[in-house]
């Protein structure tokens, strides 16, 4: 099977690794801000409702990832491998995060405030989100796949989550009309920009490192032009997203929802392209 | 056509032409999403709709039949339970009942999943799942019906129709979800989301309305009258349900029919919603379950007639068509129940519980009959002939009950009303009252006199309570009789019951106000009865509603007219329309 064909066959996992960590991090940022910031009741209520945005993004990723399970009972069998299989750990962490975040969102609609429960769920979901990002990045450090078993694989996944997550959190705040401080908003955009720069650098290093990843039957250096072209596409999209996000920020425009939404979309498309390229570089140590 | 009828038509056309330009839909709210989600849950949960997402070995006739039957019986039971609860313990219907729908569906879905793992107890889990899913989906149906009946008519009808139109889109999206996940997506995602929407929607419901506050046992005649008036309508829709139940039995012995009936069901609802929204956009209109049944009867009858003579591929289409007809009728039934609740002031859960109970009981009977016939006959040949014959018999009997000898067409059946859409900014209304030319005046007067006979021309006197003090009515000779003679037992309602027939000048004026102020037929009836000097008790007696309901309609009427007492209504009635328009513009 060629690299692109393999990438296409794993397209649902490309969706999963793009959307799930991004949504998880965005939820964590927004939910922790909601817990810690001093907001009016109406503002809190509105932001609580808009937490559904990162949850929905993550959920689409999770649902997409289940396409290869076959029948309902298989999904439970996957969970029985928790602890010994990185894939099962990833699925379990994703389900725990999703469950906690979903319940946290639903609790907001209750007739009673339940502040303690909300805070507990926020903290638990945030920890689960971090665990989800960790286990997802670890699931691809597979020794038998020489092009994936590189030191940059995990770092890149974490950086991609930060790039997209920070922008998506900013989008959530804008959609909910949450009054966030300019410094905090700038911090989110700055974090996304820093992660973008770092990710482009580490992706380039990963591409260079393919020279050391050849197997007995395959020359991984042949992947370099292909991967480099996707790094270029990724860089263009990510930088375009940052420009779209930063311009209204510097102009101090009060209503930035449209621009920040476009920025988030561009960033997610860029991450998706990079994740697709990553799956296309599948080189088993024994065979192409 | 009499001159008065011409005048009525001119009034409607004149007003309609000015309204056509700036119509605006009511705002969609969270109930639209919630109802669409509910219908999707319904489609995926009922009739083994979730089975396509289960492994093939799960699709045995025994499992399908046990699941469907247990589900349908609990579904029907829940409707009758709701009707009984609304009658004997109305306070229950004022509570938040969302969990009564959500929890059974949640646990029912997991019972179905459990049946995959615990094979020795598979049948027990399947039956338990059927019971829970049936009760849960019926619970949600009742909760949404309560909402749509309790909110203002425009909002309720629009949200209901838009939600119905959106449901197929969500349902088809379910096919994009990997099949391994669908069985989890329903209880874990759709049900909580639907419950949240229902909770949010319920917050806007005023449970202080008479429909919820009145104790039905204090007005049993109102409920008795409802049952006698609408039993025929329920049986009519139930007969279409019976036919759909018959064809629903076919997938049990022939699973290839299952998907077709599911898709047709969603398509039928979509068509109903789309047609009504399109008609509503075009202008105001009325319909009823009886009208709908009479229009759908030929389609169902023809389908059943040719059913035994077609190849299997054509039978699938025909089954789909029969189920589509029922889905269409279901949407009309939901609208009809909401209209009855609003107009008559009956508890919406009683009304829908009664209608739903009868309709789904007949559908259950159809399903059991169909399965019985098919199961017995499948050893030699599939006996579609008997299935079609029994279906045809039931739908024809329903027609006989509605329109046969001895069946009287009741004047008290409430029609589903689509008020003209609101306009922004308010348009200048055409001088509709200009039609009050001499000839039509005289004609209307003459006709009125003829109709009224020796109607009492004297002002009505205060009858009972201070707030019901009869208005001082004009006594000049030109004034039409404003109150009926006590001996005149005919109803005073004009616009609703006479189909727009104008009896006298006052009727005509009420009709103008109806168009101008977007009054419902019920409000217009009460307006006319009020200005004719009827007391609340008299109005309640004549319209078979409670006095509290009369007060509520009157309150709505006053709010729409911007008045605080009956005398002001007369001022409005007497003022030329141009004056009213300019007054309103000045005040706005």
Check residue B474 and give its pLDDT.
Answer: 34
Q: Quote the CA–CA distance of B177 and B170 in Å, as a whole number.
A: 11
Q: Is A58 on the interface with B (CB under 8 A)?
A: no
* B194 to chain A: closest CA residue: A106
Give the whole-angstrom CA distance, residue A146 versus residue A149: 5
Distance CA B430, CA B426 (A): 12
Confidence of residue B377 (pLDDT cuts 50, 70, 90): low
| CB contact A112 to B (< 8 Å) | no
Longest CA–CA span in chain B (Å) reads 88
Q: What is the mean pLDDT of residues B575-588?
A: 58
Q: In the prediction, which pLDDT does B219 show?
A: 85
CB A20 within 8 Å of CB A65: yes
**The predicted structure's pLDDT at residue B47:** 64
Instruction: Quote the percentage of chain A above a pLDDT of 70.
Output: 91
Which residue, among B8, B154, B152, has the nearest Cα to B495 in the 3D structure?
Answer: B8
B482/A14: higher pLDDT: A14
Q: Which of A63, A75, A102 sits opposite B177 (nearest CB)?
A: A63
CB–CB of B54 and A69 under 8 A?
A: no
What distance in Å separates the CA atoms of residue B196 and residue B179, rounded to the nearest whole number?
25
Start-to-end C-alpha separation, chain A = 8
CA angle, B390 then B393 then B394, to 5°: 90
* B200 and chain A in contact, CB less than 8 A: yes
User: In sequence order, what are the residues at sequence separation of 6 or more whose Cβ sits closer than 8 angstroms to the Cβ of residue A117?
Assistant: A107
In DSSP terms, which residues pair with B23 in a beta bridge? B423
Helix axes B30-45, B98-117, angle to 10 degrees: 30
Mean pLDDT of B412-422: 80
8 A C-beta contact, residue B105 and residue B136: yes
Kindly list the residues from chain B whose CB atom is less than 8 angstroms away from the CB atom of residue A69.
Answer: 178, 180-181
Q: Which residue has the higher pLDDT, B404 or B556?
A: B556
Distance CA B366, CA B385 (A): 15
Secondary structure of residue A288 in the 3-state scheme: coil
In chain A, % helix, strand, coil (3-state, to 5) comes to: 80, 0, 20
Q: What is the DSSP letter of A141?
A: -
Measure the CA–CA gap between B394 and B388, rounded to whole angstroms: 10
pLDDT value of position B78: 95
Chain-centroid distance of CA B361 in Å reads 19
Token pair listed for A115: 């502040």
Q: What is the pLDDT of residue B120?
A: 84
Tell me how close the Cα of B30 comes to any Cα of chain A, in angstroms. 12
Q: Is the per-residue pLDDT at A87 higher than 80?
A: yes
Q: pLDDT digits over B39-61, tens only?
A: 998 888 776 566 666 666 777 77
Can you give the pLDDT at residue B459?
36
The DSSP annotation for B388-443 comes to HHHHHHHHHHHHHHHHSTT----TTPPPEEEPPPEESSPPPPP-GGGG--HHHHHH
Q: What was the pLDDT predicted at B397?
A: 93
Element (H, E) at B523: helix B521-531
User: In a 3-state reduction of DSSP, which class is residue A251?
Assistant: coil
Candidate from A92-96, A163-167, A194-198, B279-283 with smallest mean pLDDT: B279-283
How far apart, in whole angstroms, are the C-alpha atoms of residue B247 and residue A282? 52
**Which residues, listed in sequence order, are joined to residue B24 by a DSSP beta bridge?**
B422
pTM (2 d.p.)? 0.79
Burial of B364 (0-12, 13-18, 19+ CB in 10 A): buried
Q: What is the mean pLDDT of residues B296-307?
A: 91
Q: A75 and B116 in contact by Cβ < 8 A? A: no
pLDDT for position B378: 56
| Tens of pLDDT, residues A111-138 | 788 899 999 999 999 999 999 999 998 8
- Do residue B180 and residue A109 have CB atoms under 8 angstroms apart? no
> What is the C-alpha separation between A118 and B383, in angstroms, rounded?
60
The mean of the pLDDT values for chain B is 78
Residue carrying structure tokens 């179905």: B112
Which chain B residues are within 8 Å of A73, Cβ to Cβ? 55, 113, 116-117
A226-262 pLDDT, tens per residue? 889 999 999 999 999 999 999 988 888 776 899 999 9
Of B180, B185, B200, the CB nearest to A70: B180
Alpha helices in B151-255 (DSSP H): 153-173, 179-185, 191-202, 210-213, 220-253
More confident residue, B439 or A145: A145
- A74/B180 Cβ within 8 A: yes
Please give the residue that has the higher pLDDT: either B464 or B5. Answer: B5
- Contact between A109 and B200 using a beta-carbon 8 Å cutoff: yes
Q: What is the pLDDT of residue B446?
A: 42
pLDDT, position B480: 40
The Cα–Cα gap between B154 and B26 comes to: 6
Tell me if A287 sits within 8 A of A218, measured CB to CB: yes
Contact A75 B188 (CB under 8 A): no
Dihedral through CA B438, CA B443, CA B446, CA B451, nearest 10? -140
B51 contacts in chain A (CB < 8 Å): none
Nearest to A72 among B96, B180, B188 (CB): B180
Percent of chain B with pLDDT over 70: 75
Higher pLDDT, B15 or A245: A245
Distance CA A73, CA B113 (A): 8
Q: Which of A71, A102, A106 sits opposite B180 (nearest CB)?
A: A71
List of residues 6+ apart from B434 with CB closer than 8 A? none
């Amino acid at each position: 099977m060629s690299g692109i064909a393999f990438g296409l066959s794993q397209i649902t996992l490309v969706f999963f690794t793009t959307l799930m960590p991004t949504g998880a991090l965005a939820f964590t940022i927004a939910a922790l801000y909601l817990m810690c910031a001093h907001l009016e009741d109406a503002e809190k209520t509105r932001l609580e409702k808009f937490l559904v945005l990162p949850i929905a993004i993550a959920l689409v990723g999770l649902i997409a990832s289940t396409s290869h399970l076959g029948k309902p009972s298989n999904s439970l069998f996957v969970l029985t491998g928790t602890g010994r299989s990185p894939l099962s750990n990833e699925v379990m962490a994703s389900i725990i995060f999703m469950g906690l975040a979903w319940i946290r969102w639903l609790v907001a609609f209750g007739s009673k405030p339940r502040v303690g429960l909300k805070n507990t769920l926020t903290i638990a979901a945030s920890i689960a989100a971090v665990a989800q990002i960790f286990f997802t990045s670890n699931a691809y450090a597979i020794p038998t796949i020489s092009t994936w078993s590189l030191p940059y694989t995990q770092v890149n996944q974490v950086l991609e989550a930060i790039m997209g997550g920070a922008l998506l959190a900013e989008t959530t705040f804008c959609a909910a009309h949450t009054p966030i401080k300019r410094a905090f908003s700038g911090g989110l955009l700055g974090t996304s920009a820093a992660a973008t720069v770092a990710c482009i650098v580490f992706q380039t290093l990963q591409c260079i490192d393919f020279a050391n990843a050849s197997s007995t039957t395959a020359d991984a250096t042949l992947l370099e032009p292909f991967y480099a072209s996707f790094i270029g596409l990724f860089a263009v999209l990510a930088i375009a997203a940052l420009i779209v996000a930063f311009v209204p920020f510097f102009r101090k425009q009060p209503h930035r929802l449209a621009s920040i939404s476009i920025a988030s979309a561009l960033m997610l498309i860029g991450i998706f392209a990079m994740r697709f390229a990553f799956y296309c570089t599948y080189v088993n140590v024994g065979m192409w | 056509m009499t001159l008065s009828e011409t005048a009525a038509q001119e009034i409607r056309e004149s007003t309609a032409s000015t309204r056509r330009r700036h119509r605006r839909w009511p705002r969609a709210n969270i109930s639209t999403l919630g109802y669409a989600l509910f219908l999707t849950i319904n489609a995926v949960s009922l009739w083994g709709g979730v089975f396509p997402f289960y492994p093939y070995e799960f699709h045995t006739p025994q499992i399908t039949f046990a699941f469907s039957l247990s589900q349908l019986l609990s579904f029907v039971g829940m409707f009758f339970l709701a009707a009984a609860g609304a009658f004997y313990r109305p306070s229950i219907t004022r509570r938040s009942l969302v969990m009564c729908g959500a929890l059974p569906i949640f646990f029912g879905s997991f019972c179905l999943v459990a049946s995959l793992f615990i094979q020795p107890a598979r049948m027990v889990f399947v039956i338990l799942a059927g019971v829970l899913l049936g009760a849960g989906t019926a619970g949600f149906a009742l909760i949404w019906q309560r909402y749509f009946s309790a909110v203002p008519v425009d909002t309720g009808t629009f949200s209901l129709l838009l939600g119905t139109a959106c449901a197929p889109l969500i349902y088809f999206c379910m096919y994009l979800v990997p099949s391994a996940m669908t069985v989890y997506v329903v209880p874990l995602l759709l049900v909580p989301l639907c419950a949240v929407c229902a909770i949010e929607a319920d917050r806007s419901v005023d449970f202080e309305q008479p429909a919820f506050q009145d104790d039905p046992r204090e007005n049993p005649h109102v409920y008795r009258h409802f049952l006698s008036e609408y039993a025929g309508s329920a049986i009519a829709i139930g007969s279409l349900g019976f036919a759909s139940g018959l064809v629903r039995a076919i997938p049990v012995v022939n699973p290839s029919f299952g998907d077709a009936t599911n898709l047709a069901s969603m398509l039928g609802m979509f068509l109903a919603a789309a047609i009504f929204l399109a008609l509503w956009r075009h202008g105001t209109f009325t319909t009823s379950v009886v009208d709908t049944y009479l229009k759908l009867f030929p389609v169902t009858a023809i389908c059943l007639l040719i059913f035994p003579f077609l190849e299997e591929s054509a039978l699938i289409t025909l089954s789909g068509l029969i189920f589509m007809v029922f889905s269409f009728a279901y949407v009309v039934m939901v609208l009809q129940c909401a209209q009855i609740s609003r107009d008559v002031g009956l508890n919406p859960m009683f009304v829908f519980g009664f209608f739903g109970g009868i309709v789904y009981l007949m559908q259950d009977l159809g399903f059991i009959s169909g399965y019985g016939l098919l199961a017995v006959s499948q050893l030699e040949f599939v006996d579609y002939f008997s299935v079609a014959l029994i279906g045809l018999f039931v739908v024809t009997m329903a027609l006989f009950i509605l329109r046969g000898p001895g069946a009287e067409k009741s004047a008290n059946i409430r029609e589903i009303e689509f008020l003209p859409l609101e306009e922004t900014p308010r348009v200048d209304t055409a001088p509709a009252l200009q039609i009050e030319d001499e000839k039509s005046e005289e004609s209307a007067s003459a006709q009125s006199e003829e109709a009224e006979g020796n109607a009492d021309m004297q002002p009505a006197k205060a009858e009972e309570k201070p707030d019901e003090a009869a208005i001082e009515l004009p006594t000049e000779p030109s004034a039409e009789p404003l109150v009926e003679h006590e001996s005149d037992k005919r109803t005073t309602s004009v616009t609703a019951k006479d189909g727009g027939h104008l009896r006298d000048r006052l009727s005509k004026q009420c009709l103008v106000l109806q168009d101008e102020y977007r009054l419902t037929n019920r409000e217009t009836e009460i307006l006319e009865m009020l200005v004719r000097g009827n007391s609340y008790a008299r109005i309640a007696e004549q319209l078979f509603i409670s006095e509290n309901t009369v007060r509520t309609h009157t309150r709505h009427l006053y709010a729409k007219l911007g008045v605080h007492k009956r005398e002001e209504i007369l001022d409005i009635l007497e003022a030329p329309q141009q004056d009213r328009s300019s007054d309103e513009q000045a005040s706005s």
